[in-house]
Every structure is written in C-alpha cells, then in structure tokens.
Structure 1
Amino acid sequence: MLLLPPSAALRVRTGPGHEAAIRREHDTAAALSAADLPVARPLLDPVHAAEWSVMVAELVDGHSREPRTWSEDRIGVLTMLESWAAAVTEHPELAVSLPSARAWCGGDLWPMLVEEMTAADPEVQEGARARMDTVLEFEASAERSAVHGDLGMHNILWKRDGAAVLIDTDHAAWADRAIDIAPLLSAYGRDALAADLPGEVLNRAAAHRRVLSLQVAAAAELRGDGKLRDHALANFARRIRSGDPQW
C-alpha cells in the first residue's frame, strides 16, 4: 500500500495472479461503495503491467487505534456491523456482485490447498480437516450478508465524527456474517461480546477464527510466498498442539 496524501492510496499486487486479484479487489470495492457501505472508494480503473497491477482508492481521513474495552467501542462497532447486515434487504444485488467466501484464498479450492500443504504432518492435516469441516458445516445453514472479511482494528479508520470507515476490502464477500465477528473475539473476548451478539453467531465466529491461519497460508501459497505460508502453518500447528480449547 502506498499513500498519496491528501486524496489517494495505491494498492499494488505482484506475483502470480496479480492482475485477477487487483481486478477482483477493485470490483469488490466498487460494489460496496455503490451500496453506500462505509469503505474506501476506488477512484480509477486498475492498471496492469507484466509484473504488477495497481488500483487507486480514496485516502480516508481517519485514524486507526488499538481496541479499547467493549463497553467503550461497542456503539461504533455495532453500528458498523448493522450497516453491513442491512445489505441483505437494502442491497440484495450484492449477493451477485460480491465474491463468495474466501475468494481471496482459493474459494472452493481452499480445503484442497490446505490438504496438500499439510500432507507432510498427519496430525496437523487431521486438525486442519476437522476445523475446516466445522466451518463449512456451519456455513451451509448460515444466512449470508455482505462481510468485510478482515475486520481487525488495523482495517478500521475512525473519523472525527466518530464514524468508522473500513479499508482493505480485498477479503470482502457475500458470506456468513460471523466471519466479521471472528477478529472481534481476539480483540474483546467472547464474554464481552455475548452481551450484544447471539451465542450461535459467536459459535460460528469461533470456528472461523480457528481457521484464519489456514486461509492466510492458502493465499500465500497461491501468491508464491513460501515464507508467509510456512509461518501461517506453523502458527496453526502450534495452536492446535497447545491444548488451549479456543483453538
């Protein structure tokens, strides 16, 4: 990402599939903007070269910050989540214009990619398979909506009026809303979120959280980034062997 104050931010992709990735990211951001969701708008059509592709988005006038307590952040975060959930009825066209879940890390091929990447370690492979199966089973019956897909605090910019704008919409999809709750579990904890979010949503969010590193690994594999792939797989292996029930 290259920032060009005061008005633009450039998102550059290199490596295998860079042209298709930037085209998908641009089209996704354009669809979300057309639906009046609070995201950084694309400003120009993507530009492609032999080794790279780039898209230009607006530079949001806001600041990022570390999460505070849930009681301090809940109004802003819940308002943002509600605006995305409302897209089910207010902007049903997003069901067609947004990618399906995990398009950024292989889509329907994601489980197969993980199977191949973990083949050398049967324990990790079995752990990955079980957790992916749980996610896919949950998703089969979950209502779909517009989701950002990477709703960590690093992707939330807070404006002076207190409104939140989301950046880096490359993971956005028409998918289970619990995908956007998964990062909030890390930031605030389940007990805090349980006051405002249904238990079934939190259960699905916990399942999504358990496979985040497998998604990062698959995306890295597709881009030819072996270092990031191995780092993500090592994180997954360490967590499932820790005995910590959250993983």
Structure 2
Amino acid sequence: MHTAEGSVSLEAIVETAVSELPLRIRRAQRTIINEGSAHVVVLLEDYAAVRVTRDSFTANKLRRRQQLVDSIPSDLGLTLPRSLGPVVEIEGHAAVATEFVSGAPCPAGEGEPEELQRLLEAVSSIDPGPLQSMLNEPLSFCGGANWYSVQIEEVIPRIDQQFRNLAREAIAALAHLEPEEQVFSHGDLGGYNVMWHRGQATGILDWDLSSMSDRSTDLASLGVWHGWEKLSKIAGADQVTRAGIRRNTFRLQQLGFLIIAHRPESEVSAAIGRANSWIAENLA
C-alpha cells in the first residue's frame, strides 16, 4: 500500500480509522481508488471508504466537512458518504471511514440535460440554515476572502508572460460578477464526485468546497464535465454566462490552492502547465 506524506504509512492511518468497525470491514480488501491533490481514498470492497488527508492544511478541515455531510437531510434522494466512525488524527493527517457510495462517474460529455437539472436542483434546494456553521466561505480553498490577492500576487506571476493579461481579465471578470441569489452550492459538482447508475445520478462525494453561492457555481462544474452545450437546456442565458465567467478561472483557482497549501513544486509546476494550456486553447 502506498505511503501518505510524512513518516506514518497510509496503511497505519486506515487501520486507525477502521479500528472500531465490524470485523468484515476491517478485513476487507483495500484498494486505493483516488489520489488527488488533497486526499487519498481507500476503498474497502463495497463496505466502506476511508478518506485520508495528505497534509495538515486539509486535515484541519476534515472534521467540519464530515459533520456537514452527516447533517444533510437524508431525503435528498442521493447517497452521501456519511460517517461510519469518528474522524481520527495521526501525525498531521486526518481520516474518516464513510459509507460506500455505489455507482460510477458519468463518462465525460454524457448525461441527459433533464438528469443534470434534477441533480442541480437537488443540491441547490438543500436548506443552508442549519448548516451555516459548517459551510465554507466562497473560494475558501484558494484563499477565501483573499482569493483575489492570491491570484494577483501568487498565481498570475507564475503564468506564462504571453497569457498573463488574459488571466488577469478572467480574474477581474469573476471579481466584478454582480451578486445574485445565494443557494447551497456543492462547489465541485461533476466528474468523479458524482456517482451514476443507468443514466441517473445516485450519489455525491467530496463536499469539501460546499458554500453559499449562486447557481452558476455548480452549473459551471456540470458544464465542464458533461458538455457546455447542455447548459442552455437547463438554465437561462444569464446563468450560463455567469457559469462561463467562473469556468474561465477554474485552472487558476486550482493553482492558487496548490500554492497556499504549500504542495510540492512538482504539483505546482504541473498545474501551471495545465493553466497555460487551458488559456491558450480557450481564451487566447
């Protein structure tokens, strides 16, 4: 099994997280199914999944994020990774064993507009009132209230000179986006964070970026994964325009996260390359 950053092994962290679970779960075959920039996810057959933070930056947030997931009403109509045990902490890492969420990600470019609309409405209709203390401020992962300063001072200087003006324009457009009605927002509603079965969305993972925002935040994520042309069938022209403004900064936001999280330079460099390529292909 791979080793998490630091001296403690991933295996030891998982053992701690599942130590109070039934024997059949503790003995289940373990498979690493995701190694993202913030977490490693270890699947225990179809019994459970253990989410392990890769560093203290994300470890400090896991407990509140899991509390949020556990507090979302069960009548949402979608399966969520609710807790099977407590959040545990060991040598700067945090981990939690959660319920198994069945299904598979929808292939990129697929997904019927009607189902995408149902998914979007299900999330945006979550009552944020009882959850306010567990929600992030918008763009918290890449600076929160200071996101613009992070972009201007840390991100833009790392972008290729030929693309910096375009990057500044994209950031300025987001900074000057007119306020609109705020609803519950997942923050990354697409790709491998949504499980599907037979053409229907059945579960949602990774609620780390949940906040109050307008509908264009989750709309943008859906468009990037399922096909931008589908958005006009599930939202009005103004919302699609707002979603496009958000989409134009996604690669820059991701780079900002890696910088302020002090991720390894290899990860930062790779993100710089992705941002440059995206700007060249979509904004230049």
Which range, TM-score by smaller chain?
Answer: 0.7 to 0.9
Shift of 1:207: 0.9
Matching of residues 128-167 of structure 1 within 5 Å:
128-138=167-177, 140-159=178-197, 162-167=200-205
The answer to whether the aligner puts 1:104 opposite 2:141 as a matched pair is: yes
Measure the CA separation in 2 of the matches of 1:191 and 1:61. Answer: 28
Q: Which residue of 2 aligns with 1:200?
A: 238
Shift of 1:62: 2.0
Secondary structure of the residue that 2:105 maps to in structure 1?
A: coil
Deviations 1:147-166 (A, max 9, x none): 11112232111246945211
Deviations 1:138-185 (A, max 9, x none): 2x4121111111122321112469452111111222212211111332
1:220 maps to amino acid: L
Measure the CA separation in 2 of the matches of 1:35 and 1:146. Answer: 16
Consecutive unaligned residues of structure 2, counting only runs of 5 or more, are: 1-40
Shift of 1:30: 2.7
CA contact (8 A) 1:28 1:98 kept: yes
- 1:60 equivalent among 94, 101, 121: 101
Shift of 1:33: 4.9
Shift of 1:210: 0.9
Superposition CA RMSD, Å: 2.6
CA contact (8 A) 1:33 1:41 kept: no
C-alpha spacing 1:227/1:55, structure 2 compared with 1 (3 Å): same
Secondary structure of the residue that 2:104 maps to in structure 1?
A: coil
2:273 maps to amino acid: A
Percent identity of the aligned residues?
A: 22
C-alpha spacing 1:182/1:148, structure 2 compared with 1 (3 Å): same
C-alpha spacing 1:95/1:136, structure 2 compared with 1 (3 Å): farther
- Higher relative contact order (Cα pairs below 8 Å, separated by 6+ residues): 1
The answer to whether the aligner puts 1:178 opposite 2:216 as a matched pair is: yes
Which of structures 1 and 2 has the bigger CA Rg?
A: 2
Q: Which deviates the most, 37-46 or 10-19?
A: 37-46
TM-score (norm 2): 0.74
Secondary structure of the residue that 1:141 maps to in structure 2?
A: coil
CA contact (8 A) 1:157 1:164 kept: yes
CA contact (8 A) 2:223 2:229 kept: no
Secondary structure of the residue that 1:170 maps to in structure 2?
A: coil
Q: Which residue of 2 aligns with 1:82?
A: 121
1:177 maps to amino acid: R
